[in-house]
């Protein structure tokens, strides 16, 4: 999957994620209907903010980068439409892992 350029720059510690498609079948090969597919929890980072600002004015850096595949909390973030697609704007703390 390629990272496309977007004209959206998240603020502070927010990260823009393009969710990856839900699995079409189970590990044993059973095809899943759309109604049985779970909401995806992995996605591709499309844009990142500059970092959270603490009460004393220090900036906490963003540790993820554009182009990384990540796993995020199932019910976190805000859905936003980008180029007609549903993407997520999540806080960095809602990202659980980098998928390698």
Non-local (6+) Cβ contacts of 64 within 8 A are: 15, 45, 48, 70, 92, 95, 98
In a domain, 35, yes or no: yes
In a domain, 3, yes or no: no
The CATH number of residue 68's host domain is 2.30.33.40
Are 59 and 52 in contact by the 8 Å Cβ rule? The answer is: yes
Are 46 and 66 in contact by the 8 Å Cβ rule? The answer is: yes
In a domain, 1, yes or no: no
Domain ranges, residue 93? 14-99
In a domain, 7, yes or no: no
Q: Which residue has the tokens 């993407």?
A: 87
In a domain, 42, yes or no: yes
Q: Give residue 97's pLDDT.
A: 94
In a domain, 56, yes or no: yes
Mean pLDDT of the chain: 84
Q: How many domains does the chain have?
A: 1
If we measure between CA atoms, which residue out of 1, 2, 6 comes closest to residue 89? Answer: 6
Positions of the chain with pLDDT lower than 70, given as ranges: 1-4, 22-29, 31-40
Query: Strands, DSSP E only, in 20-75?
Result: 42-48, 52-53, 59-60, 69-72
């Amino acid at each position: 999957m390629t990272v496309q350029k977007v004209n959206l720059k998240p603020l502070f510690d927010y990260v823009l994620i393009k969710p990856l498609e839900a699995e079409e079948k189970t590990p044993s090969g059973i095809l899943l209907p759309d109604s049985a597919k779970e909401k995806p929890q992995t996605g591709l980072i499309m844009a990142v903010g500059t970092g959270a600002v603490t009460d004393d004015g220090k900036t906490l850096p963003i540790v993820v980068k554009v182009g990384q595949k990540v796993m995020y909390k199932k019910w976190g973030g805000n859905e936003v439409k980008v180029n007609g697609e549903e993407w997520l704007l999540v806080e960095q703390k809602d990202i659980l892992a980098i998928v390698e």
